[in-house]
A and B are shown apart, each in its own frame.
Chain A
Amino acid sequence: MSIFDTFLNWKVFVQTLPLLLSGLTTTLALGVTAIILGFIGGLVLALVRLYAKSPLRQVAIAYIDVFRSIPILVLLVVIYYALPFVGLRLSPFAAATSALSLVSAAYSAEIFRAGIEAVPKGQFEAAHALGLSPWRLMGDVVLPQALRIVIPPITSNSINVMKDTALASVVAMPDLLKQATQAQALAANPTPLISAAVIYILILLPLVRLVGILEKRLAVRGR
């Protein structure tokens, strides 16, 4: 058997492609959901950390620190295998979405905080002097500027979330990696694994490039 027949077997590829594509759909659904939830959660956490009064603010800080310390795989296993002992049984998709968004929110929060803090003090003062309410100050003046600043790191974080979706295969979620290993077993050939690896790269490589371009553009405009 040649190396092509082993790793890049066309017949196996065609046979297992539907399985891989269904896995890809699950992976994308999981990744996109977690990215959106993490984005919203991160924004809220950042605002609470920056502007809430004492006890609430400490809660946000504790959350951010804890969820940046815990390995996602550990969190996922805890959510999926430990929570049922207290009566909370989540589907693999719900468990994986929770684990990924909980952690992504913590990282996003720090990114948003840095973005908000990078908006010059004079912008806040001008908004205050106009008499804008705190919500308007944030929505009209500060966040539009902060979001522009954080586009590259938030995109970077989204790439990480997408990559981490592969961890969901340990809780039997039929994502791209899980389907690929399944297909490999069925076909007794590793081609599906290679295919899956290529699919991951094809999806994430453009995003990685995009981050590079955005960072360069922002750096140019910054001076």
Chain B
Amino acid sequence: MTRPIIEMNNVVKTFGMFQALHGIDLSVKEGEIVVIIGPSGSGKSTLIRCINQLEEHNAGAIVVDGAEVGRGRKRATLIEVGMVFQSFNLFPHMTVLRNVALGPVRVRGLSWADAEERARRLLARVGLADQAAKYPAQLSGGQQQRVGIARALAMEPKVLLFDEPTSALDPEMVGEVLDVMQQLAKTGVTMVVVTHEMGFARKVADRVVFMDGGRIVEEGTPDEIFNAPRDPRLRSFLQAVLSH
């Protein structure tokens, strides 16, 4: 299966006078794991937020799963796109189980019983089978983010977007979340991941995209990007992040 599931053509996004994306062309194939890296403010979040229309692009076209999205169009295809946030954004007034079951009930039309069964299965998969009855505030950051992943998975999306899923975590919890993501990558779901975890990018990505100043400056396999960077901006970026 190699048809593109995300197709971005000359996508432009401006915030007032400020142009955050300068004509992005990006195509993601079904099942592909794409990791986006780049300095702060380079437009990584804006790019993936345009894919599920948390930000509406101003020009260009975005096609997700065969249907163009945004600029006044209905949200139907967006159900196929799940998102995991840096700050988790779990619903604090619901139990973990309900957080995960809500989407399938309200959007996919499952019964609560079926949705909760699905939720329990997914919570077990991210190692949280015994936390279902708790509220988000009772969990550690790493556990909360794994719930966030389970919540996104419960919608059975074709594409999963991750915006710096480990950046808000204490260092000792980063590993547990990356492990879950790595397991996920093997299941065939398409993933677009913004991260500063270069180890993850190297190990898991099929393709790495480097952004700077609202443009995609370079893209290639992890080997090409990390071992043979061409653009000087990429080289200095890698030098800066890898020297830590």
Residues of A within 8 A of B (CB): 120, 122-123, 125-126, 128-133, 136, 140-141, 144-145, 148
Contact = CB atoms under 8 A, between A and B. Distances in A.
A130 B87 contact: no
Given A126-B89, A128-B52, A148-B93, 16 more contacts: A122-B89, A123-B89, A123-B91, A125-B85, A125-B89, A126-B151, A128-B53, A129-B52, A129-B81, A129-B152, A130-B107, A130-B151, A131-B78, A132-B102, A140-B91, A145-B92
A132 B103 contact: yes
A151 to B, nearest CB: 13
22 contacts: A122-B85, A122-B87, A125-B54, A125-B89, A126-B83, A126-B151, A129-B54, A129-B85, A129-B152, A130-B102, A130-B103, A130-B155, A131-B78, A132-B102, A132-B103, A133-B106, A136-B106, A136-B107, A140-B102, A141-B91, A144-B93, A145-B92
Interface in B142-171: 151-152, 155
A186 B57 CA distance: 76
Interface of B: 52-54, 75, 78-79, 81-83, 85, 87, 89-93, 102-103, 106-107, 151-152, 155
A123 B92 CA distance: 9
Contacts of B151: 126, 130
A125 B52 CA distance: 10
Contacts of A125: 54, 83, 85, 89
Contacts of B85: 122, 125-126, 129
